Amino acid sequence: MATPIPPPPVLPKPGSITTSMKISSYLPIGLDRAATVATVIGFIAQTFGIGLRATALVFLVSLVGYLVGVRMLPAALVSSPTRLPVIVSLVLVATLVGALLRQHMMDTRIVDLGEVADTFHWRLRFCFGKDACIASAITDLRDKIPTKRGDTSEQLFADQALGAVIRTSPTSWRLLHDLYGINPRFLGTGASLPSGDRPFTSTRIPEYLIPNYADDHPGVLAWRLSIGSNLLTNTLDELLLSPTFNTQFAPDEIRNQIRNNLKNPSRPSLVRFAMVPDSQEGNQLRYSGCFGLPARHRVFFSSLDYMMANTRSVQEAADLSGYEFDSQATNQHLYIFMFVPGSASEVLVPNWFTLAADVNDQVRVPSKCQPHTTP
């Protein structure tokens, strides 16, 4: 049986050359490959952060260099069918190396907060809502945002960057709210944000986080003011001399202790304005008997020194502390506490780094508040 003869190849008819063949006929040999290589090299240059003009220069040099290099290489090497895959592979490897080096250079200058936040969120997913695990993840974030000692501006930036990452997670925000009463007005700078229409740049009072003690704790004086109370227009100094509603063995001695302790930076005299009721039975609000809600481990206090120096009334001091006292609300009382801590260890300056360190300790111990009812 005769072997069939394959049909001859079909050749294009004269005048029927394709568009791509027409275009390529006008281009210098190898220009398309040169453009591809130069483009990829331009991307590599971009990963190193160079500008647009420098990138254009790199592109042109790469383009010309490729064309000249191809003509200088031996003909056998140029015509090798494997040259293009090899070149592409080398270029892609170089692109990856350039991107990794660029990322390393960026990480040595500034932390990639997006990457830190993404890793933080993944870790929280595996906590499955366990507070101790969430607290450990928050504490470990401090090592992800390092800062130089002695550089105040860098420390401030790192602290606010840490807060920005924590704020991206509702899970971590919930834990901080439960333990400290943190809300969206919290700055994390150690100073309170005034309430109302006061601008951010107005006088800001130093604030501290103090254990949530009961109102009969040593060194505590407490007042409960209703809407329209004349004491709201008094100064804090006048309020200090007025009768208190909490039980203390020697309130006059505590008054002298608070006054004599003014100007003490390491263990400052403190004042707190808050709505403390923790439950509602019918129309009657019940007071827990502590600085804050029983679940709180620490609560916010302001510097009494600064409050006395920068306000003319109790109402103004409450506004400056960031507390919003609604004069139209019913069944509402303004609770005011003045307190001298027994030691400097009770006083925590609430920036993000100290908060991240403290939360890991607080979540493992019960609150200091032992609830009781005061009529």
| Tokens linked to 22 | 């027409």
* Average confidence (pLDDT) over 75-87: 55
| Cα distances (angstroms) measured from residue 36 to each of 19, 33, 93 | 20, 5, 15
Tens-digit pLDDT profile for residues 345-355: 899 999 999 99
Residue 88: per-residue pLDDT: 63
| Range in 99-108, 121-130, 264-273 the model is least confident about | 99-108
Kindly give, in sequence order, each residue whose CB lies less than 8 Å from that of residue 135, ignoring residues fewer than 6 positions away.
175, 359, 360, 362, 363, 364
* pLDDT band at residue 331 under the 50/70/90 scheme: low
Q: Could you state, in order of their start, the residue ranges of all structural domains in the chain?
A: 20-109, 111-180, 188-350+367-375
Residue 106: per-residue pLDDT: 64
* pLDDT band at residue 273 under the 50/70/90 scheme: very high
pLDDT at residue 270 greater than cutoff 90: yes
* Average confidence (pLDDT) over 143-151: 74
Residue 184: per-residue pLDDT: 81
Closest by Cα among 104, 106, 107, 138 to 120: 138
pLDDT at residue 115 greater than cutoff 70: yes
* pLDDT band at residue 326 under the 50/70/90 scheme: low
Long-range pairs for 171-177: beta carbons < 8 A, 24 or more residues apart: 171/124, 171/127, 171/129, 171/134, 172/120, 172/124, 172/134, 172/137, 172/138, 175/131, 175/134, 175/135, 175/138, 175/359, 175/363, 176/138, 176/355, 176/359
| CB neighbour class for 78 (10 Å; exposed up to 12, middle 13-18, buried from 19) | middle
Contact 135, 360 (CB under 8 A): yes
Name, of 195-199, 207-211, 280-284, 341-345, the range with top average pLDDT.
207-211
* pLDDT band at residue 32 under the 50/70/90 scheme: low
Contact 299, 323 (CB under 8 A): no
Amino acid (1-letter code) at residue 191: A
| Tokens linked to 214 | 């009961």
* pLDDT band at residue 180 under the 50/70/90 scheme: very high
Residue 183: per-residue pLDDT: 85
Q: What are 336's strand-pairing partners?
A: 223, 273
Can you give the pTM of this predicted structure? 0.70
Residue 195: count of CB within 10 angstroms of its CB: 15
**Percentage of the chain with pLDDT > 90?**
35
| Range in 29-43, 236-250, 354-368 the model is least confident about | 29-43
**Percentage of the chain with pLDDT > 70?**
69
| Tokens linked to 271 | 């004042």
- The separation between CA 316 and the C-alpha centre of its own chain, rounded to angstroms, equals 30
pLDDT at residue 247 greater than cutoff 60: yes
Closest by Cα among 75, 31, 39, 81 to 56: 39
β pairing state of 207-211 and 279-281 = unpaired
- Tell which phi-psi region holds residue 26, choosing left (phi > 0), alpha (psi between -120 and 50) or beta: alpha
